[in-house]
Chains A and B, each alone.
Chain A
Amino acid sequence: MLHELQSGFMAAVLTGSQTELTSVTPKIREGKLNTAQRVAIYRRNVQSTLRGALGDIFPTTRWMLGDDKFLNVGDQFILHAPSTSGDLNQFGRSFPEFLSAMQPSAAADMAALDWAWHEAFHAAEQAALDLSRLGAVPAEQHAALVFQLHPSARLIGSAYPLLELWQAHQNSEEAPLEISKILPADHHFLAVHRDDANVTLTPLSAPQFHFLKICAEHQPLGEAAEAAFALDANFALQAFLIQTVQQNIVIDFNEPS
Chain B
Amino acid sequence: MSPHHQSSRPPHALDPLCAGIGLRPPHYQALLGKPAAVGFLEIHSENFFGAGGPPRRYLDKFREDYAISAHGVGLSLGSADRLNPAHLENLKKLIDWLQPSLVSDHLCWVGVNGRYLNDLLPIPYTEESLKHVASHIRQTQDYLSRQMLVENVSSYLEFADSTIPEWDFLREVAQQTGCGILLDVNNIYVNSINHGFDAMQYLDAMQGADIGEIHLAGFQDTGEILIDTHGAAVSDAVWALYASAINRFGAIPTLIEWDTDIPTLDVLLAEAEKANVMLEQASFAMPTREGRRHAT
Contact = CB atoms under 8 A, between A and B. Distances in A.
Interface stretch (A26-34, A96-104, A158-166, A178-186): A26-34
A5 B161 contact: yes
A151 B52 contact: yes
Given A2-B129, A2-B132, A28-B158, A123 B115 contact: no
B2 A88 contact: no
A14 interface: yes
B274 to A, nearest CB: 28
B112 interface: yes
Contact of A127 (B1, B47, B129): B1
Interface residues of B, number: 55
Given A86-B74, A87-B87, A125-B52, A26 B160 contact: yes
B1 A123 contact: no
B109 A28 contact: no
A9 B121 contact: yes
Contact of B116 (A86, A89, A199): A86
Is the contact region of chain A dominated by helix, strand, or loop, or is it mixed?
helix
Interface stretch (A45-53, A106-114, A212-220): A45-53
A145 interface: no
Interface in A74-125: 82-89, 91, 120-125
A123 B158 contact: no
Contact of A1 (B110, B114, B161): B161
Given A2-B129, A86-B110, A53 B118 contact: yes
Interface of B: 1-4, 46-47, 49-57, 72-76, 79-80, 84, 86-87, 90, 109-119, 121, 123-124, 126, 128-129, 132, 156-161, 195-196, 224-225, 227
Given A42-B121, A120-B53, A121-B50, 9 more contacts: A2-B129, A2-B132, A42-B156, A88-B118, A89-B46, A122-B55, A125-B51, A194-B52, A197-B54
